[in-house]
Chains A and B, each alone.
Chain A
Amino acid sequence: MSVVTDCRQPFGAALERLAEDNPRIVAVTNDSVGSSNLTSFRKRFPQRFVNVGIAEQNLIGTGVGLANSGLLPFVCGAACFLTGRALEQIKIDLGYGRANVKLCGMSSGVAYGPLGPTHHSAEDLAWTRVIPNLVLIAPADGPETAQAVEAAARIEGPVFLRISRMPVPDVHSLDYQFEPGRAALLREGSDVTIIAVGTMVSRALDASDLLAAEGIAARVLNMATIKPLDRDAIVRAAEETGAIVTVEEHSAIGGLGGAVAEATAATHPVPVHILGIPGVFAPTGSPAWLLEHFGLTAEGIRAAAAGLVARRRNA
């Protein structure tokens, strides 16, 4: 747990490793070269690096056209602009068209901190999750990021990779194998389940330690693939633990929490406490301050989980 990684590093390294072996790999960006960690890629593979300038609609269209030509494009930009500015291109050209394009939304969530809501990407999961055919993956640590890049290249069809710039500790064992569409069980428990994604997974593990000290056994799932959702793991969590806390560095509306609630509502209606940014534009503050402000901390997760357990015990 001692390694702390800015996931853009393993992202760039994995993409370069893929490009070494696969001449079809191209990187495409909206001038987000350094911030997508593509500087080395550009230097090593200049013929397979495309900068379309600050133009996100054309960024997506160009990526789709490159895929049509037979190449395998990884289209990279800050998650906020990449998804929001070109949403119709993502819906039609990628989703409807089932283009074999990998969208790489960098610096998701509130990682840009005091740069403010223009640069925050607290909506991307909500507005991409409703697009058919699109696979959504938000890795939790460095090694999972590298594996997610490789998995995205193997998937035939459009994938959105949500990559954080906020340093995160490794949360998986050394022999962990990321499998798209499969939740990773990181901690077994029977009293409550914490389902986390991305930067929140390590905090969920910390919360489970706090809960254990209170005598609450919390299961922890890393739901790295938001779509297709691992419904089996969610239903098992509902059946076996009876209560779920979800936590994401994203709006509490329409993201992981919404997906989990949709999966449980009809047949396994257990309480789902959704932790995220509560449907507001964030005030000015550093990323760490903002996460604290919104209760997206080990303590915030602990309190939500303990609350659900207490409610059941008091029922």
Chain B
Amino acid sequence: MQTLASDQIEEIRRQANLIRRRSLRMVHRARMGHPGGDFSSADILSVLYFGVLRVDPARAAAPDRDRFIMSKGHCSGALYAVLAAAGFFPLEQLESYMAPLSPLNGHPDRNKVPGVEACTGALGHGLPIAAGAALGARIQGAGWRTFVLTGDGELQEGSNWEAAMSAAHYGLDNLTLVIDRNRFQQGDATEAAMRLEPLADKWRAFGWSVAEVDGHDHGALFQQFQALPLEAGKPNCIIAHTVKGKGVGFMEDRVEWHHKVPSSEQLEAALRELGEASP
């Protein structure tokens, strides 16, 4: 099994930090966004785009590309930051986040942003689409893979469980669901709002192969992605245990940072804590 060289790990760590720095600046400028979830998913996105996904910004619509669907579309700040860093569009465009007529809408539009596979933001849409894409690859005998990142609160939407059934029924081991298990949703802890646990058991009971991993450990995430499929004939579920607002002490595990906008002082404090030079 391939392991990451230390310089690759370092690059993934650096890119994750850039996702946090850039997305927080975007939210601050736009006066709107979802920084808590941007930060909990930043490491997952960095590992995917700088270590796992077979995508090429120069051929963003190539038929044989891996598909990545950001089901938790409210974390568009993190998604746009990683897509720009990966070369899908110029970094300067991030400054237009949610500005009038910007392609960078608050929730991603696949027809406006290269590299965006689905219009998400209404929760519970990504997994059914990902299951369809994976099934389509299978029907066509194609080797590309499909990845989908959902939030955890999002799993309260019943559409996910419809897709959970059909992905297992069709044995889609070319499909990988990553759950950003940051334990918070908009209004409360997930377990207080609507209990998700025992989450791994639920996915196993639906016929998926499940792995659990520290969602901020780049090496461990990479290892899990290298180990795909976890089990032949079963769709893969990777529960990434994360911290909402990860990386900035005053944001971590605080439900209000789901969609709180930092003040200029908070932004500067956060950037200082995240460290490294601008951006």
Contact = CB atoms under 8 A, between A and B. Distances in A.
Interface of A: 26, 47-48, 50, 52-53, 55, 57-58, 60-71, 88-89, 92-93, 96-98
Contacts of B121: 92
B48 to A, nearest CB: 17
B159 A61 contact: yes
Contact of A97 (B110, B133, B158): B110
B122 interface: yes
B131 interface: yes
A62 B67 contact: no
Contact of A57 (B63, B133, B146, B162): B162
Contacts of B146: 65
Nearest to A56: B162
23 contacts: A26-B136, A52-B166, A53-B162, A57-B158, A58-B162, A61-B125, A61-B128, A61-B159, A62-B129, A62-B135, A64-B132, A65-B129, A65-B134, A65-B136, A66-B132, A66-B139, A67-B132, A68-B133, A69-B67, A69-B140, A69-B142, A71-B140, A88-B125
Given A69-B142, A93-B119, A97-B119, A62 B128 contact: yes
A57 B128 contact: yes
Nearest to A62: B132
Contact of A58 (B118, B142, B166): B166
Given A57-B162, A69-B132, 17 more contacts: A26-B136, A48-B139, A53-B165, A58-B128, A58-B159, A58-B165, A61-B125, A61-B128, A62-B128, A62-B163, A64-B132, A65-B136, A65-B146, A67-B136, A69-B140, A71-B136, A71-B140
B109 interface: yes
B117 interface: yes
A47 B170 CA distance: 12
Q: Taking chain A's interface residues, is the majority helix, strand, or loop, or is none over half, making it mixed?
A: helix
B84 to A, nearest CB: 21
B135 A47 contact: no
Contact of A61 (B131, B139, B158): B131
Interface string B96-115: 00000000000001110000
A69 B174 CA distance: 13
A47 B133 contact: no
A198 to B, nearest CB: 29
A57 B132 CA distance: 12
B96 to A, nearest CB: 20
A82 to B, nearest CB: 14
Nearest to A95: B119
Contacts of A61: 125, 127-129, 131-132, 159, 163
B79 interface: no
Contact of B119 (A48, A50, A71, A92): A92
B77 interface: no
A93 B133 CA distance: 13
Nearest to A54: B162
B137 interface: yes
Contacts of B67: 68-69
Interface majority SS on B: helix, strand, loop or mixed? helix
Contact of B136 (A53, A58, A60, A69): A69
Given A26-B139, A69-B136, A57 B124 contact: yes
A47 B166 CA distance: 16
A69 B132 CA distance: 8
Nearest to A71: B136
B130 interface: yes
Q: Which of B109, B110, B128, B130 has the most CB of A within 10 A?
A: B128
Contacts of A65: 128-136, 146
Contacts of A53: 162, 165-166, 169
Given A62-B163, A68-B129, A98 B111 contact: yes
Interface string B130-166: 1111111101101000100000000000110011011
A96 B109 contact: yes
Interface string B24-38: 000000000000000
A58 B119 contact: no
Highest count of chain A CB atoms <10 Å: which of B111, B140, B165: B140
A107 B169 CA distance: 28
B129 A93 contact: yes
A68 B136 contact: yes
A97 B118 contact: yes
A98 to B, nearest CB: 6
A62 B163 CA distance: 8
Contacts of A97: 110-111, 118-119
Instruction: Identify which of B121, B139, B163, B169 gathers the most chain A CB atoms within 10 Å of its CB.
Output: B139
A93 B123 CA distance: 12
> Which residue of B67, B135, B137 has the most chain A CB atoms within 10 A of its CB atom?
B135
B121 to A, nearest CB: 8
Contacts of A69: 67, 132-137, 139-140, 142
A70 B137 CA distance: 8
A89 B131 contact: no
B131, B136, B142, B146, most chain A CB atoms within 10 A: B136
B136 A66 contact: yes
Nearest to A24: B140
Nearest to A26: B139
